[in-house]
Amino acid sequence: MAPRAEPTAVVGWGSLNPLGLDADSTWDAVMAGRSGIELLEAPWTDDLPVRLAGCVPSGALDSLSPLLRRRSDRCAQLALVAARQAWAMAASVTTGIDPNRVAVVVGTGIGGLATMHEQHTHLSAGGPNRVNPLTVPMLIPDAAAGQVAIDLGVLGGAHTPVSACASGAEALMLAQMLLNDDRVDLVLAGGSEAPVNRLGLVGFSAMRALSSRNDAPDQASRPYGLDRDGFVLSEGAGMLALMRRQDTPSGADLGWLLASGSSSDAHHIVAPEPQGLQASRAIDDALRRADVSPSDLCGVQAHATGTSLGDLAEARALRRSLGSAADHLPVCAPKGQLGHLLGGAGAVETILALQALRHGVMPRSHNADPLDPEVELAVTNKGHMPLATGQSQRLLLKNAFGFGGHNISLVLAGSTPAQPG
């Protein structure tokens, strides 16, 4: 029997993604039905088979010094800005905190891909003398966590889970473990990714993982849609500040991470186990550790990326784990608007899930109409849906799965609900 996890409070968050430069503008864009997917018009895309992606709006990195921007990859830069937002939002609890009792956990699926591509191009074109001496510290996956720790001066550990598209969610799981073990008192945790470059687009399109709807970018990302043809590559970062329940001042919480579950498919390096058997185990694990039954939930935020195999595997896992509750629980697939942020997805989407709990509404799942008839779930493909609750708090399940068979599920709870609006 899995031990019950100690609930962890979220006391700050920060987000940069194709829909906005902070968490509030992102939520507003989601509710307004905007798409973050665009056609890439830069000359370097002219010969690419896929020329669409989700890019963070311009100006996102203006707060970073020119020196820092020269010495770090975009993946680390996005994480830095999101971490600063979360840290500032949590100022009421971070002021005066012992830096030895603060940790950083930043997940990423790839790390400094832009640096790798750029420096390989320099090496090929100009030889060894053209390579930046900071190439390795810029491209290593743990650069983002290290840069955040340096920037904020926190000393309690800097950690980097690398589990493909589950990395951001796994960072939150690790943060809760650090807090439950009393290793630290506060953790800045989340994920970041900056894969929108020639190497990223060509690599994923060569394996036929990406949608090729260059003529209709806003309709290209179609999670659970009958005519889906792959995901849309996006960039961004999300960071959350978390504390133990007993250390959280009254009214400081924005929401709660109740528990997490994990498993591995041990099936294929790319394709999920098709019946969702191990994904279902991660869901069950999270529910057990949260001491929550499917009937206690008010909704699900799905990983659903828009791939034919992945979406069906998750749908089958949810149906297996949730049973009859899956008939009516609203299921939101946010990648229809965001695209797929890879290692940043789990954190950016968790912030959206907590906002949904606060506002009492599950956003519409875009481009999921017509719904694949094999997806036997109550997907919100017709519009926003109110979140019902018979509990003192609204509870929501959030999934994140990654290449390599990494499965992470989170059980989230809302703070005192805001009025829907």
Catalytic site residues?
165, 303, 340
Neighbouring CB atoms inside 10 A of 241's CB total 28
Distance between CA 346 and CA 161 in Å, rounded?
A: 12
Question: Which string of b and e fits 197-222 if b means at least 16 CB within 10 Å?
Answer: bbbbbbbbbeeebbbebeeebbbbbb
Distance between CA 314 and CA 319 in Å, rounded?
A: 9
The single-letter code of the amino acid at 193 is E
Q: How far apart, in Å, do the first and last CA atoms of the chain sit?
A: 41
| Extended strands (E) in 198-235 | none
The four Cα atoms 133, 82, 8, 156 give a dihedral, to 10 degrees, of: 30
Q: Is the peptide bond before 370 cis (omega within 30 degrees of 0)?
A: yes
Q: DSSP string covering 264-295, please? A: E--S-SSSPPTT-HHHHHHHHHHHHHHT--GG
356: Cβ contacts below 8 Å, ≥ 6 apart: 299, 301, 332, 362, 363, 387, 396
219: Cβ contacts below 8 Å, ≥ 6 apart: 213, 367
Per the document, the length of the chain is 421
CA distances from 80 to 15, 185, 186 (A): 10, 20, 17
- In sequence order, the β-bridge partners of residue 362 are 385
Distance between CA 415 and CA 254 in Å, rounded?
A: 6
